[in-house]
Structure 1
Amino acid sequence: MSDPAVRVDTTSQVPPYDQIRAQLAALILTGRLTEGERLPTVRQLAADLGLAPGTVARAYRELEAAELIRTRRGAGTRVAALPSDPAGFRPEQLATLARDFVSSARALGADTEAILTAVREALEQGA
């Protein structure tokens, strides 16, 4: 994994594994992490973040279930291929992005109304 860093706020109400999952999913779905790019091992990322390996392992399991990463013995954990048709999104990917946005917004202290307002404004601006 190149420069994009994953950060965990241990004071947040969002569990650390969910923060990791959300940040990596966003990096993958926005193309900042590309197909085939290798992610750190569970142990390495856990050590870098000062977390238990099981916390990172859970984030990786959820990313694998969402088909955003693939883990192969001997090849490590790598970013999976996204659908080639950019117009043909998968509903579960949209759900992942929405969950990630809500988790990040809640970590900032935003309430439901502030989150909905931000989404409406982004839609109106054509983002």
Structure 2
Amino acid sequence: MVKIDHQGETPPYEQVRVHYAHAISNRELPVGAKLPTVRALAKDLGLAVNTVARAYRELEEAGLVETRGRAGTVVSANGDSNRERVRAAAAQYAAMSAELGLSSQEAMEIVRAALRA
């Protein structure tokens, strides 16, 4: 179950998005698993419907879920292919970093900076 920290600095929609993104990437939610409806989750969490809808929209844009109209929102099989694309990009980045003479530490600092941005 999602826990919302209403006093925290992270916006509620982002807390919902991160919760489901982690659950999907850790395979706690398998491909095809149905997410609660936007309205039901908003009610359970005490959030506005638009807040949950934004989180779901961002999950869909990332390819982690897909909305099937009246059938609801389900975990997409694209999540696995997206993970593979990221692994391939990381391997390419590692090779380029080595080719350009960057140390592992320098390369990781660049990645950390990019993730913070």
- TM-score of the superposed pair, with normalisation by structure 1: 0.64
> Percentage identity across aligned positions?
48
2:65 counterpart (49, 69, 75):
69
In terms of Rg, which structure is larger?
Answer: 2
Matching residue within 47, 50, 57 for 1:54 = 50
- Looking at structure 1, the residues matched to 24 and 82 of structure 2 have their Cα atoms a distance apart, in angstroms, of 16
**Can you give the 5+ residue segments of structure 2 that lack an aligned partner in the other structure?**
91-108, 113-117
Matches of 1:83 and 1:49, distance apart in 2? 28
Local SS of the residue matching 2:47: coil
Structure 1: gaps of 5 or more residues: 95-115, 120-127
How much has 1:75 moved relative to structure 2?
1.2
Higher relative contact order (CA 8 A, sep 6+): 1
Cα offsets for 1:83-120 (capped at 9, x unmatched): 2697x3426xx9xxxxxxxxxxxxxxxxxxxxx9xx9x
Match of 2:13 in 1: 17
Change (3 A) 1:84 1:64: closer
* Aligned-partner Cα distance in 1 for 2:10–2:82: 33
Aligned equivalents of 1:85 and 1:36: distance in 2? 16
Match of 1:36 among 11, 32, 45: 32
Pair 1:80-2:76 in alignment: yes
Q: Which protein is richer in helix relative to its size? A: 2
Q: 2:20 corresponds to which letter in structure 1?
A: L
Q: How many residues align structurally?
A: 89
Once superposed, which parts of structure 1, at least 4 consecutive aligned residues long, lie more than 4 Å away? none
